[in-house]
Amino acid sequence: MKTLLHASAGIFAAFFLFIFFSATLVAELYYSPNDVIAVQQSILQAMWVYIPLIFVAGGMGYVLGNERKGNIVEAKKKRMLAIILVSIFLLFPSVYALASQTADYVRNAVFYGVEVLELIVTALLMILLVLNVRDGAKLTGDMSTMD
């Protein structure tokens, strides 16, 4: 049960990040400044689900990691700590800053700079979570998810 909860929280967190990334790109490329702000405000609201998910994944991973030893477990612990810290100290503030803007300021350099930072951080977090999913599959012996 702990493994299922851990894996589910991690996969849902990765799914949220994929949606954040996709929605930001689509809104910026195809929609008006008001729509871009609406997307950023929606992402900010979704952060209230994403943040607990990474804490659940990290907490359950820590509990499960105490039952196992090895390089893979240690790498997963370090990545999860990085995911939590980057999410709280880089992703959340950038999402908050973007959601706080008005349509008048959407097209300025600061907005685009923060948006690029948000996209880079989101991509990095997705990569780290996918690496943790891969290593988790190795640890549980479920190689079918590796194909």
Q: What is the pLDDT of residue 92?
A: 97
Burial of 57 (0-12, 13-18, 19+ CB in 10 A): buried
Q: What is the DSSP string of 60-78?
A: HHHHHHHT--SHHHHHHHH
Question: Percent of the chain having pLDDT more than 90?
Answer: 64
Q: What is the pLDDT of residue 141?
A: 77
Quickly state the pLDDT bin for 22 (edges 50, 70, 90).
very high
Contact present, 90 and 117 (Cβ < 8 Å): yes
Average pLDDT of the chain to the nearest whole number: 90
Query: Based on C-alpha coordinates, what's the Rg of the chain?
Result: 17
Q: Does the pTM of the predicted model rise above 0.95?
A: no
- Is a pLDDT exceeding 70 seen at residue 107? yes
Residue-wise pLDDT for 38-97, tens only, equals 999 999 999 999 999 999 999 998 888 887 888 988 999 999 999 999 999 999 999 999
φ, ψ at 77 (rounded to 5°): -60, -45
